[in-house]
Amino acid sequence: MRLRVINPNTTAAMTRKIGEAAQRIAAPGTTVVTTQPADGPVSIESHFDEAISAVGVLEEVLAGEKEGTDAYVIACFGDPGLLAARELTRAPVIGIAEAAFHAASLISTRFSVVTTLSRTGIIAEHLLEQYGFRHHCRRVRAAEIPVLDLEEDGSAALSRIIDECRRARDEDGIGAIVLGCGGMADLTQRISQEVGLPVVEGVTAAVKLAEALVGLGLGTSKHGDLAFPRPKPFTGRFERYSQLSNER
């Protein structure tokens, strides 16, 4: 199967890291293509960043449709553009936050999320509500590191995340930890060893869920609200979307 993993931000180093994590976990028969939008924020840590990045994600899905993609992963913890992406394809589209919540809820009754900055915690909280995981999650915690610190060798990012995970373990009454950023895709084992709890990371969870859905012969329903968008004129910068057709 052909899996397109989309890093919604435009930092190539993070895209590489996400791609390597996806490749390591993917089944031998899975071809992983990792991409990032041509335009957009270098990191996503606000509602504004997220709204802008969603357009790039959708363009990457449209590009993937031309290449016969079998499944998509949106590799940012806000799952930007997820439902809109599903409208554009029959293939399954999995967000890393929803993948991580599902996986964590299958191995524990309660989990906490450890994310980057506390101002982005609200995005995870909204998703927990929207996806129905509010009661599975004890707390959304922040290590107070900007996303791009995760790309810097020798930064304090890892030790701060580990410290926050230890606090979650000791104070939250949880069975598992969810890492709340695509840039943490390479940290699962290390943190799990240090903290002694199962650590769920969304990129890897999403790859395995995407493979499972494709293996089950399941794709995005085209019945109801996830049907292809109704064709209509788009104006100005977005005029090219007037060409979107229902024929795919």
Stretch that binds ligand 2AL, among 115-123, 154-162, 164-172, 215-223 (CB under 6 A): 115-123
Compute the least distance from the CB of residue 248 to ligand 2AL, in Å: 28
Mark residues 137-166: x for contact with ligand 2AL by CB under 6 A, - for none.
Answer: ----------x-------------------
Residues within window 117-136 making contact with ligand 2AL, judged by CB under 6 A: 120
Residues within window 57-86 making contact with ligand 2AL, judged by CB under 6 A: 76-78
Per the DSSP assignment, residues forming a β-bridge with 180 are: 115
- Output the six-digit token pair for 73: 């992963």
Distances (CA, A) of 127 to 71, 80, 122, 199, 229: 21, 11, 9, 19, 23
Contact residue for ligand 2AL among 104, 157, 181, 209 (CB under 6 A)? 181
Distances (CA, A) of 33 to 8, 144, 152, 208: 14, 31, 24, 15
Q: Which is nearer to ligand 2AL, 113 or 226 (CB)?
A: 113
Residues within window 5-44 making contact with ligand 2AL, judged by CB under 6 A: 9, 43-44
Buried b / exposed e along 160-179 (16+ C-beta atoms within 10 A) = bbbebbbbbbeebebbbbbb
| Beta carbons within 10 angstroms of residue 194's beta carbon | 17
Helix H or strand E segment including 16: helix 12-25
- Output the six-digit token pair for 18: 């996400």
Number of shown-chain residues binding ligand 2AL (CB under 6 A): 15
Q: Does 116 bind ligand 2AL (CB under 6 A)?
A: yes
Q: Does 188 bind ligand 2AL (CB under 6 A)?
A: no
Compute the least distance from the CB of residue 154 to ligand 2AL, in Å: 20
Stretch that binds ligand 2AL, among 131-139, 165-173, 177-185, 211-219 (CB under 6 A): 177-185
* DSSP structural state of residue 228: P
Q: Which is nearer to ligand 2AL, 21 or 147 (CB)?
A: 147
The values of phi and psi at residue 31, to 5°, are: -95, 120
**What is the rounded distance in angstroms from the CA atom of residue 242 to the CA atom of residue 208?**
35
Compute the least distance from the CB of residue 120 to ligand 2AL, in Å: 4
* Interface ranges with ligand 2AL (CB under 6 A): 9, 43-45, 76-78, 115-116, 120, 147, 180-183
